[in-house]
Structure 1
Amino acid sequence: MAAGWFHLSVLALSSLGLISILFTIYWMHSWHGGFAWDGSILMFNCHPVLMVAGMVVVYSAASLVYRLPQSWVGSKLPWKITHASLHLMAFILTVLGLVAVFRYHNNKNITNLYSLHSWLGITTVFLFACQWFLGFTVFLLPWASVWLRSLLKPLHVFFGASILSLAIASVISGINEKLFFSLKNATKPYSSLPGEAVFANSTGMLVVIFGLLVLYVLQASSWKRPQVGITTEGQLLLQLGPGSWPVPVTSMPVTVRQPNKPW
């Protein structure tokens, strides 16, 4: 049951993430003329697509690497590299998204960072950059002690989930801001809920559902990488997978703590 629910969640996440990106692309293409990289409004259209793809979908994929049962067995280093690489990809997409909006604003003499959406977004990106740098230097490079990693790991996990939450909030506020501007002087204003408003609001709801599901998977204790000598029943099912025979109790490793001795 645990394994089936886990794989169903992974399938749902993959589908929702892809649909969220495709919906954002369709919105910008169908209602706002498509894309370009020339400083025009078409360059601005790249901004929402890159931010949804980078700060939400790819970022979430990187965060969920350690929830895959395959990462629970063997060396952790390849999964650390995968985790860091996906986060780096998310950061590159995010930076390109910022370049798109800043270059458009500068070409049109529009003030940068004046709205709550922009403040929230730039704060999220700043925290993301700090988080990636901390993770790379402390958890990927071999110099840090076990004590330091143990000390910083709870903060790393907390800010990982917090940054995703802030990214979702930034996307939602950005969708709302874009609709207010694009439908301000339209034949059918935002308040009459024209087709673009319905589609964009639906895209925002998809992003919210996607983010909530990611946060749920991140918080589910049975889907976390087990500590040495500690494996819950749900984690054992995930490791065995469907169709696998249970491991005899006598063959399973047992970690025994000696009295008055540290782990």
Structure 2
Amino acid sequence: MLSRRSWTLNSRSSPPRARQTRTGMYKILGEDIAAHLKAKDTPGVFIQGLVVYSGAGDEVLYERLLDIEIVSQVASFCEERGVSLIAYSGDEIVCSEKDAETDKIALYSEPMPSAVGPLTDAMAAGLRVHKLILMDSKEAIDRVRPDIERLIGDRATFTQALPDMLEVLPAGASKGHGVNVLLKHLGIDPVRLMALGDAENDVEMLRLAGVGVCVGNASPPARAAARFMAPTNANDGSAVAMEQLLRSKEPPAGEE
């Protein structure tokens, strides 16, 4: 079982998240656990469910990419509005040019973004983009979200894990869908799944899981989707929930 200490991130207890790159997850878990997972060819779901590894080496079971037209429109929008933009490409993160906002992603144990020039030029040269993240203050993100959603419409899915970041995913994509793909591959009924979440981007996964648990500081959408509530992140909510389930084989104590 993972120790609570292994989940500490910038003084906040945080388990590895399916929204991250595989590189970021390994960094959170620490060298020993990461080495064990690599040696065992452990399957996994990453980048908001957009990349699913089967467990057979680096075999990709499922993958979704953004269309270059969407990337072009979002990049132009961000340039006009003065909003920073990063792109997830497999285990790497890139941007057209680096600034203080783009580099904030490294605070969440993700790789430091690399500047590659215009994203559409990089895509034409072979860059594969799984998702985009608009990065600015919470107030700025709140202002631009309605406008970018109107511009792109249903050609992409928008979600948030953090108030100062807005994520752009391929249409219909979610953590829940990626997790379900892996469960079907492994022959596991979702009723046997325990999922932990705290934000809008966790909603589909929490609804899918037989034991969907939100932490005490979760956003309203995550609270509504979860069946159970654990303590807050600051009080090791994720670790408490997992420990209780493993010890008692019952759902974690909290509000249903």
Give the TM-score taking structure 1 as reference length.
0.27
Greater RCO between the two (CA within 8 Å, min separation 6)? 1
Q: Identify, as 1 or 2, the structure richer in helix.
A: 1
Q: Identify, as 1 or 2, the structure richer in strand.
A: 2
